[in-house]
Copies of this chain bind each other. A is one copy, B any other.
Amino acid sequence: MQGASRLKEELTNPSNPQRSTSGVKRSRELRHALLQRKIQDNPFLTDSEIASILGVSIHTVRLDRLALGIPDSRERTRMVAEKVFSTVRSIRSEEVVGELVDVVLGKSGVSILETTQDMTLERTGVVRGHYIFAQADSLAMALVDSDVVLTGLANIKFKRPVKAGEKLICKAEVIRKKGNKYVVLATTRSTSGQVFRGKFVLASLEDSAGVGSAKEGFSG
């Protein structure tokens, strides 16, 4: 509603009488931009919803979508769902942060995390520490050859701030194993060098152990 009136104003406002067709074109481009933004931050909008938001007819919206190569709402929805679903799936059921490559159970492994704007603190543009932590923690957990693995202790150091867009490669290695306790050393680097280092102490629990009964706490 608000968007509609704003754009309508833009469109019908007699001020700024841009010469020739460029004025018209301008307003359409403006609408295109707005449309893209609206769809970006709510991909589920249906054509008619968009139409009323933009204050134009549904046909215009369709033409605009066509011009901009934006698929219909069902398709958009499907894409969102599929993307998530596939990442979630391919990463051994979403539980892992980052993409596992080359894991040798009980030995060592590598995981890659593409950082995005979503992961940053807005003010600083720096990737939040817990994503980096989660990548390493996830990898460490993946190394332990057991169904139920909990993290007990971690000793971590952030060496350098990471900006959105950097690709983080985390290597981890089991350096000690005693009973059901594993000590994993993980280091994460970006193109520009080492970024993070962490030592994790993990425990594998057999189902019989029962998570609730774990004396020495630990967390998933």
Where the two chains meet, the residues of A that have a C-beta atom closer than 8 Å to any C-beta of B are: 43-44, 74, 77-78, 80-85, 88, 91-93, 95, 97, 118, 120-134, 137, 147-148, 150-163, 195-196, 211-212, 214, 216-220
Contact = CB atoms under 8 A, between A and B. Distances in A.
A93, A97, A158, A163: residue with the most chain B Cβ atoms closer than 10 Å: A158
Main secondary structure of the interface of A (DSSP, over half): mixed
Contact of A220 (B80, B83, B121, B155): B121
Given A126-B150, A128-B220, A161-B214, 16 more contacts: A77-B78, A80-B84, A88-B118, A120-B220, A123-B147, A123-B148, A126-B211, A126-B219, A128-B219, A155-B156, A159-B218, A160-B217, A160-B218, A160-B219, A161-B211, A161-B217
Q: How many copies does the complex hold?
A: 2
Contacts of A196: 219
A216 B101 CA distance: 29
A124 B74 CA distance: 35
A129 B151 contact: yes
Nearest to A117: B92
Max chain B C-beta neighbours (<10 A), residue from A122, A155, A161: A161
Given A125-B211, A195-B217, A152 B158 contact: yes
B220 A124 contact: yes
B159 A217 contact: yes
A19 B155 CA distance: 64
Contacts of A91: 118
